[in-house]
Structure 1
């Protein structure tokens, strides 16, 4: 029995590694932030780099872009960026360190999801399918090795859910403590990953109310559970209160700490978001895989054979659906430009598979024919989904960004031309906060700070800006450059650097 379990574990890990090769993970493992949403990726890389270079405390997150107060800004809890910085000090600065940490976190989270699903279904095969299907969602796959924390936050939440399940089977305070640690960690990295935790809390509360009215006294939400949930929500409350204070203190609202609900959008904007969702849809899941999950979802929800699944599982599933729908409506506008907001919704993939098998196990396991037919169907959809994802992520990992490659090559030349590490620069044609600044490992400002306007540029020069970096050849004719054309320091593959001062 133990040997079979061990072999199943090995085979699941082998699938993760094989799929990673198929997705091209190991060909981009040492690449800097690039590809889809390089803007937000550069923010994450910048936060880690500043911990590494400046030695700030954990509670002082800072970016290359100086914003209003030396770039200090807070969003998600920066523990992972801080950890990356610690590893930079141990192994040396290399983007592969960052990506490996993200990838290992993803693997560990998926492994715990596999173990959790296997325990619930009492089948390593079906548990593997439930977890493996999540690893075929392009949006989850892309960001699992990129510089954005959404995917790893979801992965960490699986570890917390595993320990909650362990506690339900074996009442141990150790399981309570570990579940608090990992659920809180996931919520700190991305608050939306606590949807299953809220669903579980709602499920247990419903069970307690029913037990009270039936006078059964078999309450599932007991004191240690109440304390556990309290600690999780207290930790999240304290951090997000601190982040709000920190941003207010540093006069920035860069990181998004509020909702963007559908009811605040105009009719025109609602339609635009719908169109964006149609563009993004293939990045969420393989087309026929989506239909497959939707069919399974409908069969779980319909009240036939309800007696085949416990009310606890059924209520938990329904509350998760309500939580996902609520999140979608609360952050609707964000889905227009940010496909990674959908990562929190991807919990529905393994959850639907687990609940379907749980509900219809009487039919699936009726005989060898039904078992083989269902397992074969899962296998076919899994293979097709992997193929779809490999095609999808290839274009997202390898876009036409030669200018960005050229930019990263310049960093080594800056010192040769007298541009020191503490020299402030401006990037007037960079609409992001940190892409150019992070690539050059210099602090300063970009077009998002309006340095493409003369009065703002002059104010930044007074604050110490010494150099201007112009990446886009179409920007060369901009009159903002005119006073500094004689001060060209050097050119690298079309990228120009000008000196802004005469000292």
Structure 2
């Protein structure tokens, strides 16, 4: 009995140090997210519903992890077959939905949970590295207040999930790196590999960690098994993305292929315009402006004290900066309007803030100086949280428009149609949807959306029948002449018809 009591006490003792950072991060996320608990809607509605379509395809049309697909037959004409990010999380959710029923918010809760755990781990790790718990929490809350991170934390896109995997991986290995005794961690290998498989640019973190471990081989030998595991992780990331390219080419879809648009392929005017969009928007919408000021000061400080940093600290910063710079140069054009690309750079920014603060501490020997530094970070954290809450309110409370105009009706459409039991081989034409998969995810059947994305002219009813359509869903759009066809259900805003031949 005494031994069991000691075991329980030991387990609780290991959990207690996590309670405070978990409470701080949880409250901060709740404050920032505010009313942003509904969706999908708002910015990048198309990409959000694309993610939902992968889940629906796995649930309704096949559970083969290596045969992913969506619902839009215009961009993915071969029964929706399409591949993008490694779909493990979509597949797991779909398997659960086969038993528990549709859970359209599951992707968002998974992303939120992953980001929460990553930030808690980061806060605790930074507090230990700096030997200043309050400053560690303040740096973490400055990240929480990033409007981009906050928006995609509870979102259907996978970018915040990838950020969480990367941040967790570095938080696992960083204590060993800073102490100049880097250790191989199997959990970090899994996190970095999965992040790279979901989003190819995230593979730079796995490569960076591999390089650092290789540089430290004289002091901390890797061994054949661990070295092989690292190489296998890199190989698996490359293999998936090569397979995705082949899979899409084989099935005649290129919708989910991302290509580089490097800065040197742009005209001077295009470079200038993109740069202005980046600076004008990033400065106030991606991080608090004062965070950019402080980051600039800390970067300068790191350069001044570069020779005083530990070898592994220099290696981490150099590799993160180099990979982030390469990413920006290769995808420069996309930074004009793809705000979630910023999340790929955020780990480099986060660790720059940490190591810059660490490099500053030797100059702050007096208690009043340390207190002043903590107050600066605390003030910045509060300002960041307020900015994040304001931006989340702006992004999530506006009227649905443009590509997201069908967003208000998705749950109602699903609720009305789900019990009707449309045949699995039903093909639905949607009129009035400017996204590729938006309304189709509510119907949970394959089909075509018009105008859709990319926009296409609306077909005639005869053309719909020739395409193989069996049903027509009209959403806030003029209904074509449907004499002889059967009306199934609808509201003032949408109607579902069965097309009869």
**Structure 2 length normalisation: TM-score?**
0.85
1:176 offset after TM fit, Å? Answer: 3.3
Alpha-carbon separation, structure 1, partners of 2:299 and 2:226: 29
Contact 2:25–2:120 (8 Å) recurs in 1: no
Q: Measured at CA, do residues 276 and 425 of structure 1 come closer, stay the same or move farther in structure 2, by a change above 3 Å? A: farther
Larger RCO: Structure 1 or Structure 2 (Cα < 8 Å, ≥ 6 residues apart)? 2
Cα distance in 1 for partners of 2:266, 2:432 equals 30
2:330 paired residue number? 330
Structure 1 residues 435 and 415 mapped into 2: Cα distance closer, same or farther (>3 Å)?
closer
- Aligned residue for 1:47? 54
* Cα separation, 1, equivalents of 2:419 and 2:223: 65
Gaps of 5+ in 1: 209-216
What is the CA RMSD across the aligned residues, in angstroms? 3.1
How many residues were matched structurally? Answer: 480
- Cα–Cα, structure 1 residues 423 and 349, in superposed 2: closer, same or farther, change >3 Å? same
**Deviation at residue 320 of structure 1 after TM alignment:** 1.4
Deviations, residues 465-485 of structure 1 (Å, cap 9, x unaligned) = 123333344xx3xxxx65547
Distance 1:96 1:178, change over 3 A: same
Partner of 1:214: none
* Distance of 1:416 and 1:310 partners within structure 2: 63
Say whether 1:387 aligns with 2:386: yes
1:436 to 428, 439, 450: 439
Contact residue 212 and residue 315 of structure 2 kept, 8 A: yes
1:4-46 alpha-carbon deviations (Å, 9 max, x no partner) = 9866532211122212221235x554x3411221110001111
* Residue from 417, 426, 430 that aligns with 2:429: 426
CA contact (8 A) 1:414 1:420 kept: no
Q: Which residue of 2 aligns with 1:273?
A: 274
Aligned twin of 2:161: 152
> In structure 1, what is the equivalent of residue 297 of structure 2?
295
Aligned residue in 2 for 1:465: 469
2:28 and 2:385 in contact (8 A); partners too: yes
Q: Is the 8 A contact 1:88 1:97 kept in 2?
A: no
For residue 470 of structure 2, give the secondary structure of its aligned residue in structure 1.
Answer: strand
> Which position in structure 1 is the counterpart of 2:359?
359
Worse-matched range after superposition: 12-21 or 441-450? 441-450
What is the CA-CA distance between 1:156 and the residue it aligns to?
0.9
- 1:43-442 alignment to 2 at 5 Å? 43-66=50-73, 67-89=76-98, 91-165=100-174, 175-203=184-212, 218=219, 226-277=227-278, 278-301=280-303, 303=304, 305-364=305-364, 366-401=365-400, 403-414=406-417, 422-442=425-445
8 Å Cα contact 2:63/2:95 also seen in 1 = no
SS in 2 for 1:468: strand
Q: Distance in 1 between matches of 2:435 and 2:500?
A: 28
Match of 1:452 in 2: 457
Summarize the Cα distance change of 1:87–1:395 in structure 2 as closer, same or farther, 3 Å threshold. farther
Distance 1:282 1:502 in 2: 54
| Residues 65 and 71, structure 1, Cα contact 8 Å, conserved in 2 | yes
Q: In the alignment, what sits opposite 1:213?
A: none
Q: Which moved more, 1:147-156 or 1:402-411?
A: 402-411
Q: How many Å separate the matches in 2 of 1:218 and 1:438?
A: 54
Structure 1 SS opposite 2:453: helix
Alpha carbons of 1:233 and 1:285: their partners in 2 closer, same or farther (altered >3 Å)? same
Deviations 1:418-451 (A, max 9, x none): 9656421122443321112113333201233765
Deviates more, 1:488-497 or 1:65-74: 488-497
Q: CA deviation at 1:154?
A: 1.3
Task: From 484, 495, 502, give the equivalent of 2:500.
Answer: 502
- Greater displacement, 195-204 / 381-390: 195-204
Q: CA deviation at 1:291?
A: 1.6
Distance 1:468 1:460 in 2: 9
Distance of 2:219 and 2:20 partners within structure 1: 40
Aligned to 2:7: none
Q: Is the 8 A contact 1:410 1:492 kept in 2?
A: no
Distance, in Å, in 1 between the alignment partners of 2:229 and 2:122 is 21
Distance 1:274 1:261 in 2: 13
